Amino acid sequence: MLELRNITKKFDGKLILDEINLKIGNGEIVSMLGPSGSGKTTLLNIILGITPMDSGCIIFNDVDISKVSMKDRGFNIVFQDYALFPNLNAYKNIVYGLKNKPDLVTPKELEELIDFLELKPHLYKKIHELSGGQKQRVALARTLATKPKILLLDEPLSALDGVIKETIKGKIKAITKQYKLTTIIVTHDPEEALTMADKVLIIDKGKISQYGSPKEVVHQPKNKFVEEFILRQLKIKRDNIYNLFGENYV
């Protein structure tokens, strides 16, 4: 279990995260939704260990990891802009994190991962020769190859649309369920948040507006912000959500 206790963060004296309290069970997928600038990326970076928090603590499987380095936490992230190395080909990007750590993923597991993400035909292409969806899959493979204890995804689907978006969404869901990988996925698409995750975390101006199952968020929005942000963006009446998501989600 990952537990965040009273996490607070200021940038230049401005409160960015305000007393964030949260528990995520092992193997759960949590989607994080919120307006631009609400603190989503900052929260992921704090969990990852690259941004220090001002106060609060992070407990992972009963151990306080607040002061543990990013490397020793063993979590990993797919960044909002993929952050691939342009001078390396796709394959070298994927195995980059494995340098001097060949124990992280076996050659067989790596091959399976590359197959599953349908990257075999693209391995020796340079990054600028890849499409958005291919870059996204390379970034995902690079992160998964390090066998993270927690997978953090910052808007991994935002640059994609149509069929490729659906395919990658399906793959992320399949991988996280197969490996029972605790996952936090930031999205600005309410439909994506409601259909991909076990729990939805809605954040507004650095505070948690609501944290609950997709069903709870849809049926019992805790406040006006949740109601407007989720339901208005879905552009459908609450009664119709049943038809959209089916029994599993409402």
Ligand X SMILES: Nc1ncnc2c1ncn2[C@@H]1O[C@H](COP(=O)(O)OP(=O)(O)OP(=O)(O)O)[C@@H](O)[C@H]1O
Footprint of Mg ion (CB under 5 A): 40-41
| Binding residue (CB under 6 A) for ligand X from 36, 69, 87, 100 | 36
Q: Which stretch binds ligand X (CB under 6 A): 37-45, 120-128, 211-219, 240-248?
A: 37-45
Q: Strands 150-154 and 182-186, how do they pair? A: parallel
Q: Strands 150-154 and 76-78, how do they pair? A: parallel
Residue 37 near which of Mg ion, ligand X, none (CB within 5-8 Å, type-dependent): ligand X
Residue 16 near which of ligand X, Mg ion, none (CB within 5-8 Å, type-dependent): ligand X
User: Which is closer to Mg ion, CB of 148 or CB of 156?
Assistant: 156
| Size of interface with ligand X, in residues (CB under 6 A) | 11
Cα 21 from Cα 106, distance rounded (Å):
36
User: Which is closer to ligand X, CB of 10 or CB of 215?
Assistant: 10
At its nearest, how many Å lie between Mg ion and the CB of residue 38? 9
Q: Hey, which residues does 10 pair with through a beta bridge? A: 15
SS percent in the chain: helix, strand, coil, step 5: 40, 25, 35
Q: Strands 55-60 and 29-33, how do they pair? A: unpaired
Q: What is the largest CA-CA distance in the chain?
A: 55
Q: Is residue 138 a contact point for ligand X (CB under 6 A)?
A: no
Site residues (vs ligand X, CB under 6 A): 11-12, 16, 34, 36-42
